[in-house]
């Protein structure tokens, strides 16, 4: 894979087995964002990108995969090949950072490097403190990201989601809210997840959800869903 070295900002080809983080976020207007592949990141990149590199390093990782920079957008063959293999890219990542805040890549990750987020409402009654917990389900499903990025969450083993109010973690075994200590006791996670033993009915149930997504290029629709098909085939 071609990844960003967050310590040097260089784009490198790393051999299989090197741990990396992936980013899923809302690109914005793709027609104005296509750039030729560079040997290193530009001096100025959208704040969501900068924040994601900071989070990657803070987690003790070094490499970050971002489709905008890790795929040669001017090479149709490379782009087609990698889009068809999104399942391997996101499942291979140690973690997927998901940005569910803002309507552009310049918004940043709330809580990271000055990007503001909604404060938690607290009320004290005697010796007790009551806290208002935002609905992560609602924040994610009402975000601009959710209209685009559902497949990445489905194919990822671990997701760290940044919403307007807090961080949310979900893996195949548990969910965690930043605003609550311990297990929030969700009946199901706020993100769609895959399983290792899908039935054909469960696979078909993903189709109507996928068809709600907005894709900038309609020709990418079947290629992007092929990652789900590959997972089900295995």
Instruction: Write down the H helix ranges in 24-175.
Output: 47-58, 67-70, 76-84, 86-92, 136-141, 150-155
Whole-model pTM: value is: 0.84
- Per-residue confidence (pLDDT) for residue 147, from 0 to 100: 80
**Of 189, 228, 223, 230, whose CA–CA distance to 208 is shortest?**
228
- Per-residue confidence (pLDDT) for residue 33, from 0 to 100: 53
- Collapsing DSSP to helix, strand or coil, 105 comes out as coil
Residue 36: how many CB atoms within 10 A of its CB? 8
The rounded distance, in Å, linking the Cα atoms of 71 and 65 is: 9
| H-helix or E-strand spanning residue 160 | strand 158-162
95-99 and 21-24 beta bridge pairing: parallel
- Per-residue confidence (pLDDT) for residue 108, from 0 to 100: 95
**Alpha carbon 76 to its chain's center:** 23
Residue 171: how many CB atoms within 10 A of its CB? 15
Which residue's structure tokens are 């965690």?
176
The CA-based angle 146-56-103, given to 5 degrees, is 30
- Per-residue confidence (pLDDT) for residue 36, from 0 to 100: 62
**Of 16, 117, 121, 3, whose CA–CA distance to 52 is shortest?**
3
- Per-residue confidence (pLDDT) for residue 38, from 0 to 100: 78
Asked if 35 contacts 44 with a C-beta cutoff of 8 angstroms, the reply is: no
Instruction: Write down the H helix ranges in the chain.
Output: 47-58, 67-70, 76-84, 86-92, 136-141, 150-155, 200-210, 220-233
Ranges of residues in the chain whose predicted pLDDT is under 50: 31-32
User: Using one digit for the tens of pLDDT, what is the confidence trace for 183-210?
Assistant: 666 656 788 766 556 677 877 777 776 6
């Amino acid at each position: 894979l071609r990844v960003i070295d967050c310590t040097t900002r260089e784009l490198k080809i790393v051999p299989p087995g090197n741990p990396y983080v992936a980013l899923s976020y809302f690109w914005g207007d793709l027609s104005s964002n296509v750039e030729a592949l560079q040997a290193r990141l530009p001096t100025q990149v959208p704040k969501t990108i900068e924040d994601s590199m900071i989070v990657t390093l803070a987690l003790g990782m070094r490499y970050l995969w971002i489709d905008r920079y890790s795929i040669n957008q001017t090479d149709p063959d490379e782009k087609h090949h990698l889009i068809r293999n999104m399942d391997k890219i996101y499942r291979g990542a140690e973690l997927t950072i998901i940005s569910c805040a803002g309507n552009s890549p310049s918004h940043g990750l709330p809580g990271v490097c000055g990007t503001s987020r909604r404060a938690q409402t607290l009320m004290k009654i005697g010796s007790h403190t009551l806290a208002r917990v935002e609905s992560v389900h609602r924040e994610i499903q009402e975000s601009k990201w959710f209209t685009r990025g559902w497949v990445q969450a489905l194919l990822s083993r671990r997701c760290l989601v940044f919403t307007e109010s807090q961080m949310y973690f979900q893996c195949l075994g548990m969910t965690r809210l930043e605003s609550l200590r311990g297990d929030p006791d969700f009946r199901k996670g706020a993100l769609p997840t895959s399983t290792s033993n899908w039935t054909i009915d469960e696979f078909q149930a993903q189709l109507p959800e996928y068809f709600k997504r907005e894709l900038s290029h309609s020709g990418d629709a079947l290629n992007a869903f092929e990652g789900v098909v590959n997972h089900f085939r295995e």
